[in-house]
Structure 1
Amino acid sequence: MTFPQLLVILRARYKIILVTLFISVLVTVAVSLVLPKTYKTATTLLLNYKGTDPVSGQVLPTQLASGYMATQVDLITSRSVALKVADNLGLADNPATLQRFKKTNNGDGSIREYLADSLLKMVEVTPTRESSMLEIVGKGSDPTFVAAVANGFANAYQELNLQIKITPLQQASKYFAIQVKNLRADLEASRNKLSQYQQQHGLVSIENHLDVESNRLNELSSQLVLAQAQAIEASSRGNQAMGNGGRDSPDVIGNSLIQNLKASLAQAEGKFALLSQNLDRNHPQYQAAKAEVDRLRQELNANISATNNGTANNGRILRQREAEVRAALNAQTAKVLQLNRTRDEMTVLVKDADNAQRAYDAANLRLTQTELEGKSNQSDVTVLNLAAVPILPVSPNIVLNTVLSVLMGTMLGLALAVLAEMSNRRIRTADELSNLLNAPMLGTIVAEKPMRTYGVSNLGFSPRALLSWKG
């Protein structure tokens, strides 16, 4: 079948096409008017899946947008959110809802579960491509209820998102409160133990330079060094005093009295030597001069002996002093060593107290932070646009349905016209007749107006038509 033949057929069967088109449009308009109206509205949400926590100030970890958004979509369409919406809207107490529930389920089951299923059928969540925005789309026959459901899902999702965020923090806050209480008890116990130990052993600080006993030990060490030097010097003087009659010792040489006696003895001896040359032994002057020399020599020897004995006694005293200082130093050393051992034990107690203090401070800081975060009402979800009550329904769209019915009716009419032609095939053009009979054409008969045919309708002309012959 060629395209010109198809056009001839369609022109001949135009009534079928028009009737089919009219019926299609009529049925579509009627059905569109009869079908219940469906309204549609949407709530837009912004998800802050990466940013800074408003309480702690910490940078939140960056999450994969695809997985995060898919999780949030599943969370919005979860039964928990639907149950919250039903409770927030008070649908379980609505008489119409109760009547519909009893009619549908005969009163069996939970009305909250029934409402949750019904609400989930009304909403659809669509994430925006390459952004952190979500749209909660609500559909239904009541425009006001549709807007309320869409906004109700947004609010319930905000509440659930905040609950998911703060519930672990509240549990952690309770845990940290118990730990802080225990750590406070440990800190008080360690401090009491340290205080009792300090009072028992008389310790003020663990620093050595603040200890009186250590300072005394240092002082005794200095005294011992000094006593040892003095004892050594005294021993040397004593040794010199014992040699050569002790006349050449530094103490004797440095004694002014002995030096004066030596001078007086020298003068007396000189006078006696002069008198011994001129006088006899029995002469009174001789006797007197000799007595004076003996007296001065005896006094000189006595002073030298006394000086040497004093030097020896001083050496013994200094050596005894050295021994006493050494004994005191040994005793003080033992005392300081014992004090150091005590101080080492105190150092352990101080470290235990410091560790307990640091653990308590860290736990208390974490408790304060978790309590603040647990009381935060800052959600990661922000409602950008609330769902408005729709004015026009989205379905049925009479204009769109009518346009589609015209297209579908035209196509159906064309198909029916072709089928009708194929079921009752007729010759519409001279070319078809020439091809069918396989004979040359002598002429054509042009029909000016439709007339009844008598047995020759299959040839495509009427016997009453005007003839025009072509040679």
Structure 2
Amino acid sequence: MTVQQFLTILLSRKRLFVAVFVLVLLLVVVASLLLPKKYLAQAVIAVDAGNADPVSLTMANLSGQNQNYLGTQASMLASHNSARKVVQTLKLTQFPAIQASYQASNPGPGDNIVDWLATILLSNLTVEAGKGSSTLTLSYKATDPQFAAAVLNAFVDAYKSVVVDSRVEMAKQNEAFFQTQLEELKQTMAQKQQQLADYQREHGLIEAPDERLDLENQKLNFLASEVAQAQGELTTAKSKLTELSHGAAPDVMANPVIQQMTLQLAQQEKLLSEAAQREGPNHPNYKQAAAQVVATRAQLNKLKKEYSTMMRSQVETTQSRVDSLNTQLDQQKKTVLDMKGQLAQLDIMRRGVENAQRNFDLLMQRWSESMLQANASMTNVTVLQRAIPPTTPVSPVLKFNLLIGTVLALFCAAALNYGLEWLDRRVRCIDDVERDLGVPVLIALGAERQKKKAVNKLPAPAGRLVNQEGAC
């Protein structure tokens, strides 16, 4: 169907079109006036996501999870538990009309009026989280503005109560858990302290163990220096003894007595040599000089032997001293190493006691916070705007309904005319003849050509003959 045919149909049934249009529009207006007016109450609350725990001293960093946190809070606000608290707060179950509506709904054996009312309240509640902020906007729609504001404020109070109850319940659980952990940690700390005290008493490390270790280190250093000195003396004594055994000991020759006897022996040997040359070996003077040389040499050899014995005794004494000092040095090393091991074990045990004490203090702090939370009524929720009874209804909106009604009326009128035309098809214009009958039109006559002139503005098809006016 062409536009010309459609417009021709509407013009041919213009009275019916107008009647249907007016009737539908009138029905829309009447329905808008008869429908109950609904009012929308709104409230705004702020949730401090940066410090979700007002008792704890630690700040929770929820900047990246702000929207998730607000979504959780919105779910808590619009939860069935919050709606039940609203029903109980407003005492809605005591109204006879509500009781009658509940009975008329044919409740099941497991249903109750509180849950029924909570479901109805939640169906009219809307919670929206603010974008880029920590606010929640609550909206409630009802036919009574006072009731809408009262329900919305009750939801805000119920949400705060739910937040406090959940926090208090969790805090009580934490308090009981921390209490149990404190008892166990207290026993552990007492055991570690007792083990530390027993270890100090057993190894004599009760007072200034570090100073004692310093003293033992000084003893070790002193013994090490004594050993080094004694070994040097032993080496020197052994060297002198070796030289003495080869007859070239400088210390022996430097002895005044030996030097004097050596000089005396040399003089006597000189006199003996002169006596032998002058008087001969059988002369009494020669024999006397020879006897003196023998006696002096024997005395000199005796002194050297005594000195050698003394040097051997000195070497043995020095060796014994070195051995004794080495034994003392080894014992002192063992003492120092044992004490270092004891101090290391003591430090480990002290650290164990300190860690247990630190854990105990931290757990005590958490237990104190949980105890405060269990008795606290503070929340991180701030009511920015409480709901007030609205004065203007949000529905029905007459202007909007008139606009929709106008479109609907035009559609209904056009559809009705089109349907009737198809039930009783008639030839109303040139297009009906040419398109539907397939017959070419040579000329069109009629008194209404001027009225239809506005409709028939499309150019004529090729091979079609029309009059000068172009009427249908």
Is TM more than 0.5 here? yes
1:82 aligns with 2:86: no
Partner in structure 2 of residue 458 of structure 1: none
- For 1:3-26, what per-residue CA distance to the aligned partner results, in whole angstroms no more than 9, with x for missing partners? 467546535x79x939x947974x
CA spacing shift, 1:275–1:113, aligned 2, 3 Å: same
Query: Aligned partners of 1:47 and 1:229: how far apart in 2?
Result: 86
Partner in structure 2 of residue 319 of structure 1: 319
Query: Aligned partners of 2:425 and 2:224: how far apart in 1?
Result: 141
Q: Is the 8 A contact 2:234 2:315 kept in 1?
A: yes
- SS of the equivalent of 2:58 reads coil
Query: Aligned partners of 1:161 and 1:43: how far apart in 2?
Result: 18
TM-score (norm 1): 0.63
1:216 aligns with 2:219: yes
Partner in structure 2 of residue 434 of structure 1: none
- For 1:372-426, what per-residue CA distance to the aligned partner results, in whole angstroms no more than 9, with x for missing partners? 59849563x6655443320122234456556766776787788889999999999
TM-score (norm 2): 0.63
1:337 aligns with 2:337: no
Q: Is the 8 A contact 2:213 2:336 kept in 1?
A: no
Taking only aligned residues, the RMSD between alpha carbons, in angstroms, comes to 5.6
Q: Is the 8 A contact 1:76 1:153 kept in 2?
A: yes
Q: Please tell me the residue identity of whatever aligns with 2:236.
A: E
Equivalent positions of 1:2-401 (< 5 A) are 3=7, 6-7=10-11, 9-10=13-14, 17=19, 21=22, 25=26, 35-44=35-44, 56-60=58-62, 62=64, 74-87=75-88, 90-92=89-91, 97-105=94-102, 110=112, 112-126=114-128, 134-160=136-162, 168=170, 171-172=173-174, 174-203=176-205, 210=213, 212-213=215-216, 215-241=218-244, 248-263=248-263, 303-330=303-330, 332=331, 336-337=333-334, 340=337, 343-344=340-341, 347-348=344-345, 350-355=347-352, 357-358=354-355, 361=358, 364-365=361-362, 368=365, 375=373, 377=378, 379=380, 385-397=385-397
Query: Aligned partners of 2:203 and 2:63: how far apart in 1?
Result: 54
Q: Is the 8 A contact 2:39 2:394 kept in 1?
A: yes
- SS of the equivalent of 1:389 reads coil
Which sections of structure 1, spanning at least 5 residues, go unmatched?
429-439, 445-471
Q: Is the 8 A contact 2:240 2:249 kept in 1?
A: yes
Q: Is the 8 A contact 2:160 2:379 kept in 1?
A: no
Query: Aligned partners of 2:446 and 2:228: how far apart in 1?
Result: 160
- Of 307-316 and 198-207, more deviation after overlay is shown by 198-207
Give the number of the structure whose alpha-carbon radius of gyration is greater.
Answer: 1
Q: Is the 8 A contact 1:194 1:350 kept in 2?
A: no
Query: Aligned partners of 2:347 and 2:65: how far apart in 1?
Result: 46
Q: Please tell me the residue identity of whatever aligns with 2:348.
A: K
1:320 to partner: Cα distance: 3.0
Query: Aligned partners of 2:65 and 2:221: how far apart in 1?
Result: 67
Q: Please tell me the residue identity of whatever aligns with 2:38.
A: T
CA spacing shift, 1:6–1:143, aligned 2, 3 Å: closer
Query: Aligned partners of 2:171 and 2:383: how far apart in 1?
Result: 24
CA spacing shift, 1:119–1:367, aligned 2, 3 Å: farther
- SS of the equivalent of 1:234 reads helix
The number of residues matched between the two structures is 415
Q: Is the 8 A contact 2:74 2:127 kept in 1?
A: yes
Partner in structure 1 of residue 460 of structure 2: none
Query: Aligned partners of 1:260 and 1:103: how far apart in 2?
Result: 149
1:190 to partner: Cα distance: 2.0
Q: Is the 8 A contact 1:40 1:137 kept in 2?
A: yes
CA spacing shift, 1:402–1:250, aligned 2, 3 Å: closer
Which sections of structure 2, spanning at least 5 residues, go unmatched?
429-442, 448-472
Q: Is the 8 A contact 2:50 2:62 kept in 1?
A: yes
- SS of the equivalent of 1:156 reads helix
- SS of the equivalent of 1:43 reads strand
